[in-house]
Amino acid sequence: MKDLAEAARLALKMITSGDPVLYATTLRTLLISATATALSSLFFIPAGAFLYFSSFPGKKLVTEVVRTLYGIPTVLVGMLVFLAVSRTGPLGNLGLLFTPAAIAIGEAILVAPIITGLTFSALRTGGHELAETALSLGAGRWTAVLKVLSEKRQVLLTTVLVAFGRAVSEVGIAVMVGGNIAGYTRTLTTSIVLAVGKGEVARSIALGMVLLLLALSVNVTLTFLDPERNR
Amino acid sequence: MVRYATIVIGILTLSSCAPGPGENIEKNTVAQTESVDARLRVATTTSLYDTGLWNVLEPLFEEKYGMELDVLYAGTGKALEWGERGDVDVLTIHDRSREETFVERGLGLERIPFAYNHFLIVGPPDDPAGIGGLSPEEAFTRLHGMAGPVFVSRGDDSGTHSREKSIWISAGLDYDDVRTSGDWYVEGGNGMGPTLVMADQMRAYTLSDVGTFLSYGNDLDLVPLVDSGNALLNVYSAIIVSGTDNMDGAEALVEFLLSDEGQELLGRYGVDEYGTSLFHPCGGEEPDQP
């Protein structure tokens, strides 16, 4: 127990003294996860809107499948992306394996169902009404959808932050397609795996604290954005 | 929308090319403007990685040859798999028979031994099974079938795991029987370092290379119990993957490992910290002593 207290003290020191590796890893993790979330939002907020506004046979099934995929195991996504971007895979010639871009792509896929599903849910309260209002004011179909999304921007931002939270905390994809290369594809979560395996207690705790701090700041932002949330 | 897409793609490109600050402060900045393919990828066994050796080799190599080196760690089995897929350029591994098969199949250019050390059977200091001083085969025979978690295996198809299998076989046992014969045999599925930590926590025995054992030694109660026998020679080889698109880099790395500087560094590594070197350089030749 005394060792643990000592390690926690060292961890705090690492954070406060600006340990360069810790900070570089944090920055890299933020960059990768933010890229993944932005990339996924770009495609799947529109996908969620499409799912809401369109009607086709099997729509309910698709919605259910999307919801089920909220909890898709990260190692499964990691494995699929690995097979796709490995040299012998269909996207092999892009040379993406063991790069930060590969992690970002994997995480983008990971959060795609969350973004699609939560966008869909967000529109369910008043989406059609808003669209009809926009249409009656002379907007075209696409402009009307954009108008609705813009009206719902607060909920959509929440969606994006939830997705970011999932991306930043996953480890399966980062290890498998990133390879945990020091200074290049090493993220907070993969660093923790390595540090625990090495028995580097202080470093593990420091990394864990930073990761928790990131999750906390996402949560605080969410509460700030939506004061109703905690009532 | 187009502007947004441009920004996102911009970020993506940026994050894939720019090395992070801090860790790479001293790295050559040329690589930042080169394409991703200019990076050299070496897959190394966890037993080499966990000793910290690459933390010393990597910056020296990068400075000398002006290229980015990505060090990926995995068991020998996984490293060979990456090599076969063409996902890495060079392998530094330790499983002679599988290395020779890899080269025979035309997947690798040549097997070049660059350093060696030994395996150890390590266990709790009180040695409840009484294997101290036995031969590796006798020790394994004695551990076989004892009660409780007794032996932690890498269980990950690594070079160390291969060696463990071959010791069971030369002890006259069938490996599949050993593996499935009870709770005493624990398949960890981890790298060398984590396996040592696991054996330590379980008060069990395991097979480890001396390098990883020494670099983890201070944090472990485990002690070496069997350290001699022909079955314990551990040779590390470098193999250039035939299909590499960075042949210049791959050749440079092998040249660096075999150079006077590289060999001296290998022979000296660990002396300051552990009082003994973790590796013996062998300059491209098969070491002939056990």
pLDDT digits (tens, 9 = 90+) for A168-211: 999 999 999 999 999 999 999 999 999 888 878 888 999 999 99
Residues B53 and B97 grouped into a single domain: yes
Domain membership of residue A73 as a residue range: 22-179
B15 falls within a domain? no
Pair B113, B286: CB distance under 8 Å = yes
Assess whether B104 and B122 both reside in one domain.
no
Dist CA B269 CA B56 (whole Å): 9
CA distance A108 to chain B (A): 11
Cβ contact (<8 Å) for A199 and B193?
A: yes
Shared domain for B178 and B112, answered yes or no, is no
Q: Say if residue B95 is in the same domain as residue B183.
A: no
**Does a structural domain hold residue A211?**
no
Average pLDDT, chain B: 87
- Whether A39 maps to a domain, the answer reads yes
B22, B68, B70 member nearest A20 (Cβ) = B22
Report B:31-60 residues touching A (Cβ under 8 A).
36-37, 41, 50, 55, 58
In this predicted structure, the answer to whether residue B113 has a pLDDT above a threshold of 90 is yes
Rounded-to-integer distance, Cα A219 and Cα A36, Å:
19
> Given an 8 Å threshold on Cβ–Cβ distance, is A182 in contact with B243?
no
- B269 and B199 both lie in a single domain: no
pLDDT of B19 higher than 80:
no
3-state secondary structure of B234: strand
3-state secondary structure A174-217: HHHHHCCCCCCCCCHHHHHHHHHHHCCHHHHHHHHHHHHHHHHH
How many residues can be counted in chain A?
231
- Neighbouring C-beta atoms of residue A227, cutoff 10 Å: 8
- Angstrom distance (rounded) from CA A180 to CA A178: 6
In a domain, B50, yes or no: yes
Q: Tell me the nearest-neighbour CA distance from B170 into chain A, angstroms.
A: 31
> B280-281 and B108-123: which strand pairing?
antiparallel
Question: Residue A6: pLDDT band by 50, 70, 90 thresholds?
Answer: confident
Q: Please indicate whether, in this complex, the C-beta atoms of B11 and A38 are within 8 angstroms of each other.
A: yes
Q: Contact A144/A131 with Cβ under 8 angstroms?
A: yes
**What confidence category does residue B28 fall into, taking pLDDT thresholds of 50, 70 and 90?**
very low
CATH number at residue A143: 1.10.3720.10
Question: In terms of CA atoms, which chain A residue is nearest residue B73?
Answer: A179
Task: State what percent of residues in chain B have pLDDT above 90.
Answer: 72
Inside any domain, residue B289: no
Position A16: which residue type? T
Q: How confident is the model at residue A157 (pLDDT cuts 50, 70, 90)?
A: very high
Query: Number of A:B CB contacts under 8 A?
Result: 104
What residues of chain A lie within 8 A of the CB of B37, using their CB?
95
Question: Are A100 and B5 within 8 A, CB to CB?
Answer: no
In the predicted structure, residue B147 carries a pLDDT above the cut 90: no
- Write down the pLDDT at residue B288: 74
Is B13 a residue whose pLDDT tops 50?
no
In a domain, B162, yes or no: yes
* Residue B282 zone, left/alpha/beta (φ > 0; ψ -120 to 50; rest): alpha
Contacts of B75 in chain A (CB under 8 A): none
Q: What pLDDT digit, counting tens, does each position of B173-204 carry?
A: 999 999 998 889 999 988 999 999 999 989 99
Q: How confident is the model at residue B17 (pLDDT cuts 50, 70, 90)?
A: very low
A1 inside domain: no
CB contact under 8 A, A183 and B19: yes
> Can you give the pLDDT at residue B32?
40
- Local structure of A89: helix, strand or coil: coil
Model confidence pLDDT, tens digit, residues B71-83: 999 999 999 999 9
Q: Which chain A residues touch B22 with a CB distance below 8 Å?
A: 20-21, 23-25, 183
Alpha carbon of A25: minimum distance to chain B alpha carbons (Å): 7
| B22 vs B183 pLDDT, higher one | B183
State whether B187 and B223 are in the same domain: yes
> Confidence band (pLDDT; 50, 70, 90) for B14?
very low
Residues of A in contact with B23 (CB under 8 A): 20-21, 24-25, 182-183
Give yes or no for residue A225 having a pLDDT over 90: no
Residue B289: what pLDDT? 58
Nearest partner of A32 among A118, A106, A133, judged by Cα: A106
E-only strand ranges, chain A: none
Contact between B83 and B241 under an 8 Å Cβ cutoff? The reply is yes
Choice between B87 and B10, residue whose per-residue pLDDT is larger: B87
> Hey, is B23 helix, strand or coil?
coil
**Is B25 a domain residue?**
no
Of B16, B23, B193, the CB nearest to A99: B16
Parent domain of B199: 118-232
Give dist(CA A222, CA B68) in Å, integer.
40
Q: Is the dihedral of CA B82, B85, B89, B92 positive or negative?
A: positive
Dihedral in degrees, nearest 10, Cα atoms A171, A172, A177, A183: 20
Of B8, B36, B55, the CB nearest to A38: B8
**Helix, strand, or coil (residue B129):** coil
Does residue B106 surpass a pLDDT of 90? yes
SS3 B178: helix
CA A211, A163, A35: angle at the middle one, nearest 5?
Answer: 80
In whole numbers, what is the pLDDT of chain A averaged over residues? 92
Give B156 to chain A, closest Cα distance, Å: 15
Has residue A231 been placed in a domain? no
This prediction's pTM: 0.82
Is B278 within 8 Å of B70 (Cβ atoms)? no
Least reliable range by pLDDT among A13-17, A106-110, B264-268: A13-17
CB contact under 8 A, A24 and B216: no
Strand partners, B121: B207, B226
The reply to whether B288 falls in a domain is no
Q: Where are the beta strands (DSSP E) in B136-270?
A: 151-153, 185-187, 205-209, 223-226, 233-241
In a domain, A113, yes or no: yes
Partners of B4 on chain A (C-beta within 8 Å) are 42
Amino acid B223: pLDDT:
96
Give mean pLDDT, residues B23-42: 53
SS (H, E, C) B205-231: EEEEEHHHHHHHHHHCCCEEEECCCHH
CATH of the domain at B110: 3.40.190.10
Which residues of A are less than 8 Å from B72 in CB distance?
A: 98, 179-181
Residues of B in contact with A182 (CB under 8 A): 23, 55, 58, 71
Indicate if B88 and B160 belong to the same structural domain.
no
CA B258 – CA B269 distance, rounded (Å): 15
Which of A21, A34, A95 has its CB closest to that of B22?
A21
Contact: A35, B15; criterion CB under 8 Å: yes
Residue B167 confidence (pLDDT) above 90: yes
Q: Which of B36, B71, B243 sits opposite A99 (nearest CB)?
A: B36
Check if B147 contacts A (Cβ < 8 Å).
Answer: no
Chain B residues closer than 8 Å to A95 by CB: 36-37
Count of domains observed in chain A: 1
User: Residue A148: pLDDT above 70?
Assistant: yes
Burial zone of B208 (CB within 10 Å; 0-12 exposed, 13-18 middle, 19+ buried): buried
pLDDT above 60 for B237: yes
- pLDDT value at A1 more than 60: no
Q: Let me know if residue B29 belongs to a domain.
A: no
Query: Is residue A224 a part of any domain in this protein?
Result: no
The whole-number pLDDT of residue B7 equals 46
CB contact under 8 A, B197 and A87: no
User: Of the candidates A39, A92, A182, which has its C-beta nearest B23's C-beta?
Assistant: A182
pLDDT in tens, B82-98: 999 999 999 999 999 99
Confirm if A132 and A141 have CB atoms less than 8 A apart: no
Pair (B195, B207) in one structural domain: yes
Q: Which of B63, B49, B55 is nearest to B211 (CA)?
A: B49
CA distances from B159 to A108, A149, B50, B96, B151 (A): 35, 55, 14, 9, 17
Confidence of residue B23 (pLDDT cuts 50, 70, 90): very low
**Angle between helix B53-65 and B247-258 (nearest 10):** 120
Residues A72, A79: Cα–Cα separation, whole Å: 12
Would you state the pLDDT for residue A229? 58
> Mapping DSSP to helix (H, G, I), strand (E, B) and coil, where does residue B114 land?
strand
Run of H or E including A85: helix A74-85
Residues in chain B: 290
CA–CA gap between residue B84 and residue B122 (Å, rounded): 33
The verdict on B247 and B142 lying in the same domain is no
Q: What is the pLDDT of residue B18?
A: 43
Residue B36 has pLDDT above 80, yes or no: no
User: Confidence band (pLDDT; 50, 70, 90) for B148?
Assistant: confident
Task: Kindly state whether residue A116 falls inside one of the protein's structural domains.
Answer: yes
Q: Are residues B218 and B124 in the same domain?
A: yes
Number of independent structural domains in chain B: 2
Instruction: Inform me whether the pLDDT recorded for B121 exceeds 50.
Output: yes
d(CA B36, CA B251): 19
**Residue B11 pLDDT:** 47
- Strand B205-209 and strand B233-241: pairing? unpaired
Neighbours of A46 (CB within 10 A): 17
Domain presence at residue A11: no
In sequence order, the β-bridge partners of residue B185 are B151
B28: in domain: no
Give the B window 59-78 contacts with A, CB below 8 Å. Answer: 68, 70-73
B67 and B105 both lie in a single domain:
yes
CB of A170 within 8 A of CB of A72? no
- Mean pLDDT of the region A49-67: 95
The Cα A102–Cα B245 span in angstroms is 19
Same domain assignment for residues B129 and B220: yes
